[in-house]
Amino acid sequence: TRGVIGCEALWKIGTRNGVESLRPAAEPLPRQTSTPGPGSAGLAAGDPADIVVVEPSSARLAGVDPTCWPLVATANDVAATIVAGEWNRLDAAVAEDLRHVLDELRCRDS
């Protein structure tokens, strides 16, 4: 799986300049955000420069070392995404859409 998010520092980036510095120079591959299947763990993005921002107050992450969040977090913990340098905070409707897409991807992969 490409682009498994594993760096807490990247989750904290919300400024335009910080994000722009992470954009790939070449044309990026098609993007998708997914929770990997049972054989792997964590959140994945279709491009390594895309970032998934997790909600640190999630009950699932309580007491978990932040460096291990990618192994524990699921789509329900996503608070925002940064795709191609664009910061997208998820409201309830967008979060529900994301969960629906991830559920479909999981069903298709199994």
Other C-beta atoms closer than 10 Å to the C-beta of 4 total 16
- pLDDT at residue 13, as a whole number: 40
- pLDDT at residue 80, as a whole number: 73
- pTM greater than 0.85 (yes/no): no
What residue type is assigned to position 81 of the chain? T
12-22 b/e with 16+ CB inside 10 Å = b?
Answer: ebeeeeebeeb
User: Half-sphere exposure of residue 38, counting CA atoms within 13 Å on the CB side?
Assistant: 2
74: left (phi over 0), alpha (psi -120 to 50) or beta: beta
- pLDDT at residue 14, as a whole number: 37
Distances (CA, A) of 9 to 12, 71, 101: 5, 16, 27
Give me the mean pLDDT over the 68-91 stretch: 69
Q: What is the tens place of the pLDDT at every residue in 34-73?
A: 444 444 444 545 555 566 777 777 788 788 887 777 677 7
